[in-house]
Structure formats: C-alpha cells, structure tokens
A and B are shown apart, each in its own frame.
Chain A
Amino acid sequence: MTNAPVLELKNVHTYYGNIHALKGVSLTVGKGEVVTLIGSNGAGKSTTLRTISGLLKPRQGEVLLEGERIDQVPAHKIVERGVLQSPEGRRIFPRLTVKDNLLMGAFTRSDKAEIEQDLERVYGLFPRLKERVAQRGGTLSGGEQQMLAIGRAMMGRPRVLLLDEPSMGLAPVLVEQIFNIIREINSQGITILLVEQNALMALGVANRGYVLQTGQIVLSDDAKALAANEMVQKAYLGIE
C-alpha cells in the first residue's frame, strides 16, 4: 500500500453557510484499501464524503483523485471519474423500480452489454434484489434498501466506493451481512472509504482508519492498532 494514493484530501475546509464543518481534514486512501473514517454524530464524516463527491465545495484545501484535483469539479463529473457513493440514509429513488434504481447507478455508462453483466454481478452479491426487480424502491425494507444503495453505486463501476453509514438502522444479522459484502466487494479490487458509527465492525474490515472529531482528524493508524487504542476503545468501542 505504499504506492501513490487513489484518493487524497489535503487540508480540506468545508462550510455549511457559516458553520465551519471540516477544519483541515487530510487523509489518503491507497489502491485496493479499505479505509474507515470513524467518529461520533456531527463529527463531519458525511460532510467529508459529500465534499469528495462534489456535493459540497471546500473553501480551502484540495481533493485529489489519482493526483488530479477534483474539488472544483461538478458532482456528476466526479461520478464519471469513478467515485461513487452510497449516501447516508440510502437515498434510493422510492418511486423507481429496483432495476431502474440500479440502472441509474450506471447512468454515466453506455456499454449496454457490460451493464447487463454488472446487473447480474449485483444480483449475485444481493440475491434479494433479484427477487424484487420490478418492485418500487420505496417498498423495500431497510436492509434491502441498503443493499440497493450499495448495488446502485456498484453499477457505476467504481474505482473508489464511498460508503456512508451502511449499517445505520439495521438489525445485527443484517449488519453482519452488509459487512461481509463490503469485504467481498473489496476482494474484487475496489477501493473503499467507509464511514461508520459502528466503529467495531468498521475497524474489523478496514486496513486503516481515521478518527474524526468536530471536523478534525485526531488519530490515524492501522485498523488493528486503532482498535487497541485506549482512547478509541473508550470513546467509540464502549470498552472501559
């Protein structure tokens, strides 16, 4: 993992209006890695992902994708470059069918035959979705919607996959299942930046991790080392 990073944030400052949400975040994600960003509510995890995806523009600092700046590129162009996000709260299209939801993930692509193949690949990862292809997205259960949101992002052939709180609101069995799928996606060679409140699970799949606190990175290390870190254990793993 010592080669040039796929994704790099350098001293990024992002604001919501006058609220200073990210105060100089720097992080790197290497090719093929799973990197996790943990932190409590309101620490700026989602803001970081929204900044990478171009939904928010940083006032200061740089976002680099394979060495090229993307921080001033419009959101839809960033997707074209292979950065796809499964957003917080799933944000699937409730009145489109499951299949149309997935096809929206492949919106920037025009290679019909390969899109068909990728559909099958996603159905392979999530057999539940295949059973529900013609159903409207809004009628799915929470776990199924999460699968749909990840599957939809996969349809864009991501080079970097951004996952925002994929375990949020899910039953423990489903959380387990989702994390297994994250491992599987990563084993297919896809680089993943994972944002989680469930630090224990996140550090279990990640190679490295960053701890975000009120808009600043306060710690970064190997996932194993972080899991053993006293401060992390106290604040995020509930171990006294």
Chain B
Amino acid sequence: MASEAVGSNFQKRVIPWRTIARVALVVFFVLFLAVPLFNILVQMVTNPQLLLRQLLIGLTNGAYIALIALGYTLVYGIVELINFAHGEVYMIGAFFSLTLVGLFSLSDETPYATRIPLMLLILVLTMLATALLNAAIERFAYRRLRNAPRLAPLISAIGVSFVLQNVGLLWGYLRFPAFNGVMGSNAVAPKSYPQLIPNDNLLAPLEGVFGEAFRLRFTTKDLVVIVVSATLLIALYTFVQRTKIGKAMRATAQDRDASALMGIDVNRTITLAFLLGGALAGAAGMLVGMYNGTVVYTLGFTAGLRSFTAAVLGGIGNILGAMLGGLLIGLISALSDQYISTEWTNAVVFGILVIILVLRPNGLLGEDVQQKA
C-alpha cells in the first residue's frame, strides 16, 4: 500500500513516455520532412495541371487497389485470417482472363459490336473462376485449421501463395494453339495483353482551349477501370449493408457463435466471403491486365502487398475502410511517383501507413473491435 502511494506521487512529476515519444515524432517531422514537404507543396500549387494529372492516375490505381483490398478485409472480418494468397488469386484472374481473350481470339481489331459483349462475358467468367478458386482455397487450406493456433492458417496461406505463383509460372508456359499466342514464348516473361480498350485521351478536346502546355490525360481505359470498379464496389457495399445475407455476413463477423444460434450457416457465410473477395480480385486482374497491357506471374505479390496495406490503412475488417484505403494508397503512390521519386514510393506508402497506425492503431475507419471471448 505504502509503496503504491509513493509511486503515484512520484509519477505526477514525470512526463509520461508517451508524450515524449509524440514530441520526438513532431520534432523529427519538422526537421527532416518539413522542408521537402514545403517544396512539394510549392510545386503542386505552381503547376496545378501536373497535380491534377497525378490525381487522375492515382484515382485509377486506387480503384483497382480497393477491389483487391476488399478481398483481404472481407475475409479478415469474418475469420480473422490474413489471406496471403489473395494477391495470387488476383494474378490468376489476370492469366485466366488473358487465356479467354486468346480463346475468343479478341484483339484490337475485333469490331466493338462483338468485342464489348465478349469482354463482359470474360469479366463475368473470370470473376466466377477466381471466386471459386478463393472458396476452394478456404475449403482445402484454411477450414481444417480454423480452430488451430493462428499461426497455422497464416503459414498455410503463405504456402498457397507460393503454389499459385508457380501455377502462374506454369500457365505462362502453356502455348496451346487455341490460345492464339497470348502466352508468348517464355514462361517467366510478361505476357502481352492485347489493347482491347482504346488508349485515346478523353480530355484531348481541352487541348484546343489550353493550347500546347496541356498535360492532362484521362483515357477510355481509365474511365473503364473506374466505372467497372465503382460499380462493383457499390454493388458489394449495397449487398453487405442491405440484404439479409449481407447482414448475416456482418453478424458472423461480429460474433460467430451467436450467428450460429440465429440459424446462420457459418461455414456457408465464410465461403460466401471468400467467393465475393475472389470475384473482386478476378475483376481487378482483368482490369489491370488490360490497363497495363501485360500480365506476369509476379503480379500478385506487389499488388497484394499494396492492397493489404490499403485494407490495414482503412481499418481491416471495415468495407468502407478498404475502399478509402485503396483510394488513398493509389493517390499517395501517384503523387510520390511524381514529386518524390518512384524508387521512394514504397517507402512513402509504408511510412504513411506506420504513422497512421501509430496515431490510429485500428486504421482510419477501424473501430475498437472487442476481443472475442
């Protein structure tokens, strides 16, 4: 008792470590970052066109990052597992869609009347395939480990990720005549995706108004990526918020046993989360393949890392958070590419992630999730 009283008296006079750490952080910022940040700000203000161009690029990248991030967040929300194989599912989606493009012999010369419906069909088939793939991964690699210590399914996820990367590598080697040459000649090399959406600048008419110095670009490709992503994001959000099954999904994420006591089939709900996440990853795979014009088996790793970061940034388990996080990561990367340097972009992105997590450990929109009993 006595020593306790002395301790509390003593503490009153000492500045807590937390405060010291915060002050140190601020000092660090001022000293090391204020000058370059100010410099960047000046550049942004003096050349708003360049800023706008980067923001448009960021928007497009953010859209597909959000699609993949949702897969991480949906799954984490329900089974508290970081599905490390998710980036790979996205990569397989890109390969799958490219293969279908070859099977249907689509190219930039196919007339739009047949090209557009076929592309939509490919999108749907790809989403279906990756949805099933993701659900199958859950069934075979995670379900048995659901009550095992947390590390076990995590390791299993990393294992699945390696397996899928090698499937991608093998896929790049499949040179069936029916694929119409889409897989190229070398398993490891990036495969080229035909230019199915024109790369024309929709803002070109503005050049007449602003003259030579006009630097804004927003192509049909950008538009397609944003429209398709936004449609899928809104559809998913509406599904989860409004429908009975969507609500059951949220209920299962909040309390699995209580959901079972409501008559919700927990296994089926978990499968549904994997199906939805997989479908969105497949759509992202096809969109990015078309947008960048290449597909390579290592595609999933970097995209996966960024999307996972986006999900954590927004608050993992939170659907709106994943969308916001994706958008922010896209914008930050695009700005960093321009104003700092592409080599530094990953450092900038993860640096910002660290800062946000220090200040808000549950992410931007994350709530204090009570520990489950």
Contacts and interface: CB of A to CB of B under 8 A. Distances in A.
Interface string A45-67: 00000000111000000000000
Given A104-B251, A108-B262, 6 more contacts: A55-B261, A75-B261, A91-B255, A92-B258, A107-B264, A156-B263
A76 B254 contact: no
A75 to B, nearest CB: 4
Nearest to B318: A95
A103 interface: yes
Contacts of B263: 76-77, 79-80, 107-108, 156
Interface of B: 244, 247-248, 250-251, 254-255, 257-266, 367, 370, 373
Contacts of B262: 76, 79, 104-105, 107-108, 152, 156
Given A89-B373, A96-B250, A107-B248, A76 B257 contact: no
Interface residues of A, number: 28
Contact of A87 (B244, B257, B370): B257
A93 B265 CA distance: 16
A92 B254 CA distance: 9
Given A93-B251, A96-B247, A107-B244, A87 B258 contact: yes
Interface of A: 53-55, 74-77, 79-80, 84-85, 87, 89, 91-96, 100, 103-105, 107-108, 152-153, 156
A26 to B, nearest CB: 23
Contacts of B251: 93, 96, 104
A76 B244 contact: no
Contacts of A153: 261
A158 to B, nearest CB: 11
A79 to B, nearest CB: 3
B261 A100 contact: no
B367 A95 contact: yes
A164 to B, nearest CB: 10
A107 B260 CA distance: 10
A85 B265 CA distance: 16
A104 B260 contact: no
A94 B370 CA distance: 9
Nearest to B250: A96
A79 B257 CA distance: 13
Given A76-B265, A76-B266, A103-B247, A55 B254 contact: no
A75 B260 contact: yes
A55 B255 contact: no
A94 B244 CA distance: 17
18 contacts: A55-B260, A75-B266, A76-B260, A76-B263, A76-B265, A80-B263, A84-B261, A87-B257, A93-B258, A94-B254, A95-B250, A96-B247, A100-B247, A103-B244, A107-B244, A107-B248, A107-B263, A108-B262
B83 to A, nearest CB: 22
The 5 closest A-B pairs by CB, nearest first: A79-B263, A108-B263, A91-B258, A75-B260, A76-B265
Contacts of A94: 254, 370
A110 to B, nearest CB: 9
A100 B251 CA distance: 9
A85 B248 CA distance: 17
